[in-house]
Amino acid sequence: MKGLTIREVQPEDAESLVRIYAPYVRDTAISFEYEVPTVEEFRKRITKIKARYPYLVCLKDEVIAGYVYAGSYSPREAYAWTVTTSIYVDRELRRQGIGSLLYRELEAQLGERGIVNLLAGVAYCEPEDEYLTMDSYNFHIREGYTEVARMKTVGKKFDRWYDLVWMQKKI
């Protein structure tokens, strides 16, 4: 895709990542966090995740447009081949292939490390409301994930209850 490049995240990218993530925290139920993390907190998260897993950014015309990373599903040894995934794209740049490009590269790097199971926790409500649409759920379906579990009313945000759907993809 023209103008899009992927690279490994750097701690100095934290400010750009917070800029992308903040609207998801403030204005949506996509993230179950209530407060936007500080830039320093994001730097700590980047360092911790990068120590073990890929953490990637997508640049559109040299500006960070989205990011993706993997995390540990469980510290128990038998789960060493299973990770969780998280992905966020600048809300003004969605539906331009950024998320798919990020996931493809993440999957390639995880596959090289022997990872075989990807799990994504996706906030869900039916019907949609002003804080949560089916966009993330549908995106993961298009990326080859399937729903494997649904936990009812486990996240409360904006005085509303939301489900959490666990989705899985084998690579």
Comparing CA positions, the residue from 41, 37, 72, 51 lying closest to residue 9 is 51
Looking up tokens 């409360």 gives 156
Q: How many CA atoms lie within 13 A of 158 on its CB side?
A: 14
Q: Which long-range contacts (CB under 8 A, 24 or more apart) does 146-149 make?
A: none
CATH value at residue 117: 3.40.630.30
- State the total domains in the chain: 1
Q: What is the pLDDT of residues 54-75, one digit of tens each?
A: 999 999 989 999 999 999 999 9
- Report residue 68 CA to chain centroid gap: 5
The pLDDT of residue 162 is above 90: yes
The pLDDT of residue 1 is above 90: no
pLDDT of residue 155: 97
Provide the angle, in degrees to the nearest 10, between the axes of the packed helices 14-27 and 39-50: 110
Q: Which two tokens stand for residue 122?
A: 């996706």
Residue 144 lies in domain = 4-170
Backbone dihedral angles phi then psi of residue 119, each to the nearest 5 degrees: -120, 135
89's enclosing H/E stretch is strand 82-89
Backbone dihedral angles phi then psi of residue 52, each to the nearest 5 degrees: -130, -30
